[in-house]
Chains A and B, each alone.
Chain A
Amino acid sequence: MKKILYIALIGGLSLGVASCQKDFLNLEPLDKLTDAVYFANPSDFKSYSSGFYTQLLGWQSPYGGNSIYQYMDESTDLSSSNTFSSEVGRGTITISNSDTRWDKSYAFIRTVNILIQKAASYKGNKDDIKQYVSEAYFFRANAYFNLLKFFGGVPIALEPLDLDELKIPRSSRYEVVDQILSDLDNAIANLPTESAIPSTEKGRISKWAAKAFKAKVLLYEATWRKYNGTSTDFEGSAQPASDQTIAFLTESASLAKDVMDNGGYTLWNYNSNTAVANQSSFYLFNLEDAGSNPAGLTKASNNEFILYGVYDLTLRPGGQNISHTAYNLMSPSRKMMDMFLMTDGLPPEKSPLFQGYHHFTDEFKNRDLRLLSYISATPSSVDLTKGGSGYGNRKFGAYNYGSYRNANQESANYPILRLAEVYLIYAEALFEKNGAISDAQLDESINKVRNRAGVARLTNSLATTNGLNILNEIRRERAIELYREGSRFDDLKRWGIAETELNKSVTGEVVGDASYTTSFRTSTGAATSIYNPAVYVWGEELVSTPKGMLKAVVIDSKANRNFTKKNYLWPIPQGQIDLYSGLKQNPGYN
């Protein structure tokens, strides 16, 4: 008996070993599906497209690290800090071997293309997945639009590429734009309206978001072509098939109008709430839960953001030192300070309400509410002993920083496209197309923004009476309203004025001199205790102000700034050209 047991035991053991090797070698994944069986249900497409949302610009930049600060207008003519990406404002961009904006954009495009490809072979009812396919088209357009802005015309990939399909030459910017517009048309067709998106999914792309985005692309491209022609095209680039400028502007205005009229969005204006104290333009950008403002307003009150990144203190914190950066490093320039309007709707140089610079609080009087929302007028923050502009920024900083939110915890939603910009697009597109805009059209768009800012309406008569150029006023409105939201470089470039605007000295507080006393200089011309001229490497410069030529501290000297036409686009990363010489470099970078 015993013997049989042993034999059975050992026999069993050896047979177990000798049995089928397939039990050990032909194994299946236990926790993952393969793409062969996935994409069978609408929920698969939904989950997959939900993954696209990290491609949106936000505090956690899709390009990695803390690169989001590069998209907050650092080193433009309107900001004085050179802490970030001074290479752009100074025109010292050099060719690098690789560029994450290139690499990541194509990674996003592949991700999106997989869904479009899988959707084509979807066996079920295509209506069930049309929203997600539309999102894919939207995100593909978004990726190509970013590539267009950075690099101009780029290679176009419309399906997941194989290793032998990678030598694709650059398409012209005109072809890229056509592709973006066609993708957006596909997106618009089947995206839900904002009201159809459940509250648990707010932040998903709506039909209006796609339309507003298309209006933005159209205006961007129309003005680019109008003011830059083909001057930024790479060697061998195809020319536009036809002059699409007017058509683009027309469609841009009509899309904007559609969103304005039918989107159901409203400006976030709580100025009438006494707790808000006219600071809507401050609290809108740090809006989180009820603790984020003295009025107890939450993100749910925000019906102005059309396209944005969703953040949350616990689930998806901003994870950047936003308030610290906003309060301490993002300082407005002299030019920005003088750009804010007076309450009478006039720029300071035209308005009798402007109080000058004798005391550092004077220039804040009778001004656009956005000046007080964006810039700190409190005496404690004025200091010209550290080498800064002297102005303290507030936009994007947390309310009660240090107690309501600590460093790195700020988690307001990141605005990408909001109703105010749609108004601005509408007005600009109309004016660019017609060379004129009616008071009614101004009232239904730009004057709504001015109203929130406590500034008088812009009318054709106000312009005529005061010698204002309406186009300039629309552009001014854009500079003020979208301050630090990443539009400035793009705007300067598409208006073809980047060289002239960026190459001037960037200055800060008016310090005056013996003949124009300020808080910084006494009537003897001596520096006061809050001004230490020695820390200003570039000294002072006479600059044109609403009160004439006055001395201001220089933050970045024009000697450093040499922005040229080539800097309108970034160079194609050299590593990519090395791998495929068919990729032509942008003009001026060879």
Chain B
Amino acid sequence: MAFIVLFFKKKLIKFMKSLLQTSIPWGKIMRAAFCPTLMIFALTNNSYASAKSSITTHVEKAKYEINGKVTDAKGEALPGVSVKIKGTTTATITDVNGNYKLSLANGESVLVFSFIGFETQEIAVNNRETINVKLKDSNNTLDDVVVVAYTTQKRATITGAIEKIDAKVFQDRAITNVGLALQGQTPGLVVTRSSARPGNEGLNFQIRGATSINGGSPLIVIDGVPIVNYLSFQNMNPDDIESISVLKDGSAAIYGSRGANGVILVTTKKGKGKVKIDYSGNMRFTTNGITGYSNSQKEYASLWLQANKEEAIPNWWGWDTQANMEKLASGYEGIYTTRYWGDVFIGDANRIDEMFARRYSYQHNLSISNRSENSGYRLSLGYADNQATLATAYDGQKQYNLRLNYDYKLSNRIKLETGITLINAVTKSPSTGLDSRLFANDMPFFPAKNPYGQWNANFGKVGNRNSVAATTDGGRDNKNSLTGRFDLKATVNLIKDLDFEGLASFQNEQYKQEKYVTPVQLYDWYGNKSTEVLENTVQNAGNPGYTSVADNHFYQYYSGLLRYNKTLNGLHNISAVAGINAEIIKDQSIRASRVVFTNLGVQDLSLADPTTSTNGGGKTQTGLYSYLARINYNYAEKYLVEALGRHDGNARFDKGFKFRDFGSVQLGWVFTKEKFLKNLAPILDFGKIRTSYAVKGNDAGLGNFEYLNLISTGTTVLGSTPGYLPTSFVDNNGIYTNLRTWETVYEKNIGVDLGFLKNRLTTTFDYFIKDNKQMLIKINYPTILGGSAPKTNDGHLNVKGWEATIGWKDHKGDFSYNVSFNISDNRTLLKSMENATSYGAGRNATLVGSPLNSWFLYQTDGYFQSQAEVDAYLAKYTGDAMAKVAKGTAGELRPGDTRRLDINGDGSITANGVKTSDLKFMGDANQHYTFGLNLGGSWKGFDLNAFFQGVGKQMIMRTGNLAYPFATIYTNQPTNYEGKTWTVSNTNAEFPRLTTNQDRAYWNYGNNDFMLQNSRYIRLKSLVIGYTIPQSISKKASLEKLRIYFSGNDLWEATSIKDGFDPEMGEVSQNVGYPFYRTWSMGLNVGL
């Protein structure tokens, strides 16, 4: 316990800090450490033969032989089980058939059988010659081996805040996007999406909240190598994933300048066991989820009538008259005569029904794997077609995956591993017609076609929008990302306990986009051409008819690592890794477009008008060169120490500024191993306290070559017959600096891992504080500078948070079940940033002394109930916020309008100000208490798994056209406010009086405290119910395994959102209209 107290003592922190002070030349130390080892390596190469012979000599002469077979509880052979003679280093592993053979000194030894996922067993030989062992499934995750940066560790001895996610998470999910599958799976990692459209989900990953106002996302490493792009993670075949580790605290510091936002380490499946062929596949369809925002003509008109009933001078906008509006409200379908638009046909055109319908998707995975004595391989193929619910045109993604992992032992000392991956993701979508055009702009009562079968314009002749027409005929946007990766790794045992590992990885993404837009003519109901061509289908230089893009990203990664593992006296466990890491990425882009394109059924750039050609391109490169090291020491797996660091060099900085040091020091104490705490054992089986301090970097906000003054080129249009002329300019108008560096984040972490009741109940808790003390921010200079100065390292952001998990698993006979829950939260605080000292009404992204995205809103006190109250208010208050609702204005306040409070008591209602406004801080807009809840159980062949994910608190205020009634009068309206607003006969309503005056509508609704709503939700992300045919039956069909299952996504949710939108959509109502959907699928797993 004293240890815990110590943690908070500044002295210890100071000590840890001092270890990491930049004054210690980590780089030099590491180079010094590394260079000799390289020499050793060179020497050992030369004396390879002699070294080999010297190693054989230390194996003692066999005296006693034992053999046997290791199986699991069901009697299935277990290959790869470690069989070790207790108290010695002599060990072997079982072969493909689970057989082992070992030479012993005598028949009195004790054998230790251990294997990941199974309980370790110790068996005394007792002079037997054959010992067959049945290993029990382990309930104890502490035995897990966890992949950490550049090495693996036993979970029990980990000192960092590291989460492990295993393959189960991806099994049977009707999802091919790894990112989506990770939503809610682990505390601290938050995955958000803004759309359900495959390939366009707008996924965002964040570990432990924001790190910087400049953003930054977790570094993703697959099989030890960072990835060339996020797509090669999101679009990888989920079936290929063996495990994922999420490094949250100082454990990520070994990735230096890329570690600040945490690291996600992905390990792929390798070949194991006898030849195995697995097929899994599912068919699915989607149905619309929440569409509560969708209104009808009647509802729209009814809201208007209600609002204008409250107005002294009604405003019917383009509808002109109350009569027209009443006709709308009656549901009359037919011609409406208006002054501005002429004759317009109105009729039922429910956009959801018109545009979205059940679509089918499917995925297939096939894998073959095998391991023999000297080699192992796993080949997997995946194909998926994911379609969203758009019915007017194909909107989805096709995914093709191939992966081959192959390893081969050249000798006892040299092992080669190769990995080949191909991912082809093809996203095809309409070029226009979605987003705000779907729903937020126009009311859904302009039918898509007129009686002549022509595309009908909204608002008769003057309209220029029609989402059905745009998505059907407006052109296509096709994107294709082909990523290939080749890894080659060689591991050489140099001398006892010391291995060298060389790794090279080449990753190449070829991205292609072909986009064409074709003008779509709209017509009015009578067949007359509309004056404007469909929005966004007009072709011009800014919106060319045909665009073709080819990008290429080539990433090379090389590393050389030395690994050292040693156990002294069975008590002192030392392991160390040191090495060099070099990376380079080259990007090239070519784009060409022609303005005038007519779609005649064949789509290619060459078919567009060549006289309107433009093309461009660019290429860039950047590199990293780093020295890294990590040392772990533990005493009897009780006292744990870890230190790691990286001397990181980056091509983005000028000479002399390229290198910077990052690192972490970590301590852990497995207190349940202390003798004096042994008596806790029946209840508390395992207890560990761990702590870390780290210095990590964030590379967000930095571009290539920003330390140089660069010239860019472009074009301008001149000439009596206009044509292009080349132009050039100096980037950022010639303002640059070479005096900046990575953002540096200082992070402290303390965590506790506990296991109770034979480790059936496990919990983990972590608390962290991170400080980005060199956040890149813009300093405001007088604008006569002529441009904005680059960001410099002058800001400070502080983030504090915690994560907790609790899990229970047990079994009773054939019934086994598990429950786990995880939750996390973090709070940001902007400590210093120039220019971020004033706030306005609404959400303020940055304000010193407040969290990021702070809400400052008007505090209100109900609604005026009488004219006398209004008069008194108008007489008493002035101020900038009052300007448009003051006496004599068109927006003059009336009974039923909102009473905003003068909270500073200065007699005026003001929005602008530093400290003297009437705005009240009302929390932030960030996600809080994000959680995941997993319920699983199985009985005989049946299994069930339900996974819920959610957010406990996120305060949002709807923005965009549908923010509140009559935020904008010429758009669709959020009709679900009707009946909830103040009227003479409903003075106790939830919302203020409706008004068609936009200024008053803003006063009544905009940025008022009661409009803030909690976007919290809990959603059944995944439900899997499966049945495995008993092997006794499937064997008859020569199948190892046959399983059928139902799998569903997003089937149910509960949310506090009041205005009918999906809680995952975010707050912008402009995006509404493309429904989030529910997925229903049936699947099959077959094993040969």
Contacts and interface: CB of A to CB of B under 8 A. Distances in A.
Interface in A48-77: 48, 50-51, 53-54
Interface stretch (A155-163, A260-268, A546-554): A155-163
B789 interface: yes
A111 B729 CA distance: 8
Contacts of A3: 48
Interface stretch (A123-131, A199-207, A230-238, A479-487): A199-207
A18 B708 CA distance: 28
A108 B783 CA distance: 11
A24 B651 contact: yes
B1058 interface: no
Interface in A1-55: 2-3, 6-7, 9-11, 13-14, 16-18, 21, 23-27, 29-36, 38, 44, 47-48, 50-51, 53-54
B651 A32 contact: no
A167 interface: yes
Contact of B720 (A35, A36, A202): A202
Contact of B710 (A25, A34, A47, A200): A34
B734 A114 contact: yes
A35 B623 contact: no
Contacts of B580: 17-18
B718 A110 contact: no
Contacts of B339: 385-386
Contact of B560 (A17, A21, A385): A17
A190 interface: no
Contact of B786 (A27, A157, A312): A157
Interface string B553-571: 0000011100000000000
Given A51-B727, A106-B785, A407-B532, A25 B650 contact: yes
Nearest to A20: B625
B918 to A, nearest CB: 19
Contact of A163 (B414, B595, B789): B789
B410 interface: yes
A109 B722 contact: no
B541 A315 contact: yes
A382 to B, nearest CB: 14
B583 A24 contact: yes
B723 A48 contact: no
A10 B502 contact: yes
B541 A24 contact: no
B67 to A, nearest CB: 31
Interface stretch (B37-45, B754-762, B845-853): B37-45
B558 A17 contact: yes
A406 interface: yes
B784 A106 contact: yes
B708 A34 contact: yes
B416 to A, nearest CB: 8
Most buried by B among A50, A54, A200: A50
A316 B339 CA distance: 34
Contacts of B712: 32
Contacts of A463: none
A34 B711 CA distance: 6
A241 interface: no
A465 interface: no
A570 to B, nearest CB: 15
A166 B780 CA distance: 11
Contact of A579 (B531, B730, B780): B780
Contacts of B559: 17
Interface string A322-335: 00000000000000
Contacts of B789: 163
Contacts of B583: 24
A199 B782 contact: no
Interface residues of A, number: 84
B622 interface: yes
B704 A316 contact: no
Contacts of A18: 38, 560, 580
Interface in A82-117: 98, 102-103, 106-111, 113-114
A26 B651 contact: yes
Contact of A161 (B542, B714, B724, B786): B786
Interface stretch (B437-445, B470-478, B612-620): B612-620
A401 B618 CA distance: 40
Interface in A130-184: 155, 157, 160-161, 163, 166-168
B728 A11 contact: no
Nearest to A30: B619
B601 interface: no
Contacts of B780: 575, 579
B538 interface: yes
A406 B461 CA distance: 12
Contact of A409 (B529, B538, B717): B538
B582 interface: yes
B781 A204 contact: no
A313 interface: yes
A199 B720 CA distance: 6
Interface residues of B, number: 84
Contact of A114 (B595, B726, B730): B730
Contacts of B596: 314
B722 A315 contact: yes
A109 B464 CA distance: 40
Interface string B22-53: 00000000000000001001100100100000
Interface string A390-412: 00000000000111001111000
B48 A29 contact: no
B625 A24 contact: yes
A6 B559 CA distance: 17
A34 B658 CA distance: 19
B908 to A, nearest CB: 16
B784 A11 contact: no
Interface string B621-637: 11111000000000000
B506 to A, nearest CB: 13
B728 A44 contact: yes
B610 interface: no
A50 B718 contact: yes
B57 interface: no
A200 B651 contact: no
B728 A38 contact: yes
B727 A47 contact: yes
A23 B649 CA distance: 12
Contacts of B410: 2, 6
B710 A315 contact: no
Contact of A106 (B504, B539, B540, B786): B786
A201 B718 contact: yes
Nearest to A309: B717
A313 B540 contact: yes
Interface string A278-312: 00000000000000000000011000000000111
Nearest to A102: B783
B709 A34 contact: yes
Contacts of A14: 38, 41, 500, 502, 560
Nearest to B562: A14
B705 interface: yes
A33 B729 CA distance: 11
B542 A319 contact: yes
B152 interface: no
A314 B710 contact: no
A48 B729 contact: yes
A401 B462 CA distance: 12
A402 B718 contact: no
13 contacts: A13-B490, A14-B560, A32-B618, A34-B711, A50-B716, A111-B729, A113-B786, A163-B785, A203-B719, A299-B721, A319-B540, A319-B542, A408-B532
Given A38-B728, A166-B784, A402-B532, 18 more contacts: A3-B48, A14-B502, A16-B558, A17-B560, A24-B624, A24-B651, A29-B704, A44-B728, A50-B727, A54-B716, A160-B733, A160-B734, A201-B719, A312-B717, A316-B722, A317-B541, A407-B531, A576-B783
The 6 closest A-B pairs by CB, nearest first: A110-B786, A24-B623, A312-B722, A51-B727, A402-B531, A13-B502
